[in-house]
Structure 1
Amino acid sequence: MLKPDLILLHYAGGNVYSFNFIMPYLEKKFNIIPIELPGRGKRIKEKLLFDKNLAVRDVLNQILDNIGSNQFIIYGHSMGASLGFSVISELEKRKFYPLCFVASGNPGPNIKNDIQRYDLPKEKFISELKLLGGIENEIIENKQLFDFFEPILRADFEIVEKESDLNGEIKISTPIYALMGDKEKFCCSIQNWKNYTTSNFKYKLLSGNHFFIYDHPKEIAEFIKESYETQCMYKGMFS
């Protein structure tokens, strides 16, 4: 039997390699398809995107090019969760239905940080990055490295922070399974996600800040696998 596809959508500043830390725990179960936006990783020669509509279209086209008729699920962290939700809405319009959507590091639509990081002066921008975590100090403190990553980070933040609330009225029929770190600013709002699906919803908090994912690769992999298996049971499928 063919393994189901697992689509991975990276966070701001991420790339196709961002989930390498978790892949060893998922490779036996899934055919893993990491997606990346232009301007980084394998797409370094392409122009960065600054508009959410363009980013959604880009991710949507990559997914449609890869999934074929295979069963698939989508996992996104932070910006990846925001894009994933919008992309699933577009997929459903085209009669493609993920078995489930796993969203981490994101409390869902209509809950936003008041700070627009993409437009901050450099010193305040760096302070915000340090608060978020996930970026090694060696990169922040190395001018050449940081000058390379800064435009990518600002472009990605602009995608999610400058958008008009495109997701506000959307509901998807795909089940949503949500994860957040218990020290994240909006972790108490994680159940907000249940307002945006007409299907099953489940959530879990793990210890840590916005990049708690690096502290819990096994737990997150198990959560993804359990979410998939739960939906297989509901649909009478077996993997």
Structure 2
Amino acid sequence: MNKAWFTFPQRRPHAEMRLICFPYAGGSTATFTKLASQLPEHIEMVALQLPGRGIRHHEPSYTNMTKLVKDLARDIKPLLDKPFAFFGHSFGSRVAFELYRLLQQHGYPTPELFIASGSRGPHLKNTHNPIHLLPETEFIEKIKRIGGTPPEVAQDNELMALFTPMLRADFTMVENHQAQQLESFTAALVVLGGEGDASVPYDQLTQWQAHFKAPMQLYQFSGGHFFIDSHRHLVAQYLNDLLQAYPQLSNSLAS
């Protein structure tokens, strides 16, 4: 296993369940590590660290979703030795979705709970003008308007220039991603959104249901697309309440 993929904010070797987290485009483990301490003691968080950022900043970023998920599936297997859940925000939801599909295809363990956050249903086509093809200056300005980039980075042109290849790579994957068929996943489904997120309206959030057998539980926070950062405390409290019920969780959501 390539251990560089995964960060454990708080090691909990006796945890009953793992919460495996997938960051948004341009994101890193930092978004999730701040939530780890507020999870129930029986839940161990694992945060995905993609190449091109953080401790893997020297590695080239992926631009192909299929290749990314294939490599990730190979290295994540040692973490699937106990019940686990997937939690992805925006781009991360799509990586988690494709990983789930590949794990199921190969007969590997699959998540008991899938939390899709800030993301349209994976079979929906991207209807926004793609930004990954924009010239450098326009791309950077668009990224700043979208938000999610740390202020100390967004306000420093040299730092932004360093982050641009990784950001462009992530947006290449998310803007080109569209599931080609509906799945019949058995995991319990929770969908999170922001009431002020114009990029992912309510009707697009509900489209996740098409891929899951169990009825979804949908909750919207009062923030915009990056409510996972702006409303971190509320997100942490929601996750805490949701996961406190494990191991009865999956049965209650799927019933």
Give the TM-score, by structure 2 length.
Answer: 0.83
> CA-atom RMSD, angstroms?
2.2
**How much has 1:54 moved relative to structure 2?**
1.0
Instruction: Give 1:175's match in structure 2, choosing from 188, 191, 194.
Output: 188
Partner of 1:72: 84
Against the structure 1 CA distance between its residues 122 and 3, is the aligned structure 2 distance closer, same or farther, given a 3 Å change threshold?
Answer: same
Partner of 1:191: 206
**How much has 1:202 moved relative to structure 2?**
0.8
**How much has 1:33 moved relative to structure 2?**
0.9
Retained in 2: the 8 A contact 1:38–1:49?
yes
**How much has 1:178 moved relative to structure 2?**
0.6
Pairwise mapping of residues 72-151 of structure 1 onto structure 2 (< 5 A)?
Answer: 72-93=84-105, 94-111=107-124, 112-151=126-165
Unmatched runs of 5 consecutive residues or more in structure 2: 1-13
Partner of 2:45: 32
Number of positions where the alignment pairs a residue of Structure 1 with one of Structure 2: 235
Same amino acid, percent of matched pairs: 26
Retained in 2: the 8 A contact 1:174–1:197?
yes
Cα-to-partner distance string for 1:71-125 (whole Å, 9 max, x where unaligned):
1111011110011111111222324121101111112213324221111123332
Amino acid at match of 2:173: I
Against the structure 1 CA distance between its residues 234 and 25, is the aligned structure 2 distance closer, same or farther, given a 3 Å change threshold?
Answer: closer
**How much has 1:231 moved relative to structure 2?**
6.3
**How much has 1:180 moved relative to structure 2?**
0.8
Against the structure 1 CA distance between its residues 89 and 23, is the aligned structure 2 distance closer, same or farther, given a 3 Å change threshold?
Answer: same
Against the structure 1 CA distance between its residues 107 and 7, is the aligned structure 2 distance closer, same or farther, given a 3 Å change threshold?
Answer: same
Q: Equivalents in 2 of 1:129, 1:211: separation in Å?
A: 13
Q: Equivalents in 2 of 1:235, 1:179: separation in Å?
A: 17
Q: Equivalents in 1 of 2:113, 2:197: separation in Å?
A: 24
Unmatched runs of 5 consecutive residues or more in structure 1: none
* Residues 14-23 or 51-60, more deviating: 14-23
Cα-to-partner distance string for 1:31-68 (whole Å, 9 max, x where unaligned):
11111222222222322110010111233233213232
For residue 30 of structure 2, give the secondary structure of its aligned residue in structure 1. Answer: coil
Retained in 2: the 8 A contact 1:35–1:62?
no
Does 2:173 correspond to 1:153?
no
Q: Equivalents in 1 of 2:142, 2:123: separation in Å?
A: 21
For residue 218 of structure 1, give the secondary structure of its aligned residue in structure 2. Answer: helix
Q: Equivalents in 2 of 1:149, 1:138: separation in Å?
A: 12
